[in-house]
Amino acid sequence: MLVESPFRILFVVILLLISLLNVLAREQIKFNAKDGVVITADLYLSHPKTAPFIVLFHQAGWSRGEYLEIAPKLNQLGFNCMAVDQRSGSTVNNVKNETRLSAQAKMKGTSFLDALEDMRTAIKFAKKAYAEQKMLIWGSSYSASLVFVLASEDTTSVIDGVLAFSPGEYFSKFGKGDDFISKAAANIDVKVFVTAAKNEKEGCQPIFDAITTENKTYYVPTTSGNHGSRALWEKFPDHKQYWEAIRVFLSTFLQED
């Protein structure tokens, strides 16, 4: 009969405890957009409200489930987080986009630009309820573009940092110009982190170049990389490269008074 070593058993127990803590740290919450759509989000509150806070937005066709693996790691780095369902999306990692369902039930639009309403509301809600000091906004794919729009609208200095995973000029089909996001990026004055897969670099470069602040970072992996925030998922061999770049950028917010 095989007998498990005490060290192996302890290792398994530790992994189970970490998994349990991640589950316990996640709380589903709901709040209303101005047009009555109910926004669903997962709150990852592991630190005092004075800790820096990140609002996480998902990519096209997905949900807040994009951050099931990512948000607990951000908690470990010292950040509180909220992963938001925007009304433009669907399902990922077996997590349904509840905001989209609410929008459809109320016969509201669910395009990329319609999602701005949910993103604006989420930022205001998070700042009022959970973010007593620094707050960052993080986007993936189409929402990585829209975080520049939101930061450019921020006249009250609510937003302290922007992270954009695979932004692009995705909005010409909605009547916006080919430089819609670049123009927005030119009007922000906060720390910015931009990243993209290698084959996306050409599309992202004009947006990054438009950013006038000196506190900006553009990370392109030495590998082919991945589209959006999923680049940080452990299933991808190069995820550690992305995480190292993120840690360096985020550490500056922990060092500030």
Average pLDDT along the chain, 257 residues, taken 10 residues at a time: 59 49 76 98 97 98 98 98 98 98 98 98 98 97 98 94 98 95 97 97 95 95 96 98 97 81
Per-residue pLDDT tens over the stretch 17-58: 544 454 457 999 999 999 999 999 999 999 999 999 999 999
What's the DSSP call for residue 95? B
pTM beyond cutoff 0.85: yes
Burial of 236 (0-12, 13-18, 19+ CB in 10 A): middle
Encode 202-215: b = buried (16+ Cβ within 10 Å), e = exposed: eebeebbebbeeee
- Asked if 217 contacts 189 with a C-beta cutoff of 8 angstroms, the reply is no
Residue with the two structure tokens 């302890």: 10
Backbone angles phi, psi at 19, to 5 degrees: -60, -40
Per-residue pLDDT tens over the stretch 189-204: 999 999 999 999 999 9
Which pLDDT value is given to residue 10? 62
Which pLDDT value is given to residue 42? 98
SS3 of 66, please?
A: helix
Which pLDDT value is given to residue 159? 98
> What is the H or E stretch that residue 164 is in?
strand 161-165
- In order of 18, 27, 132, 153, the CA distances from 156 in angstroms are 38, 29, 14, 9
Token pair belonging to 130: 């959970």
Q: What is the side-by-side order of every strand in the sheet holding 135-140?
A: 26-32, 38-44, 80-84, 53-57, 135-140, 161-165, 191-195, 216-219
Which pLDDT value is given to residue 19? 46
Domain ranges of the chain: 27-255
Which pLDDT value is given to residue 8? 63
Nearest to 64 by CA among 24, 122, 108: 122
Q: CA 24, CA 45: separation in Å to the nearest integer?
A: 10
CATH code given to domain 27-255: 3.40.50.1820
Which pLDDT value is given to residue 116? 98
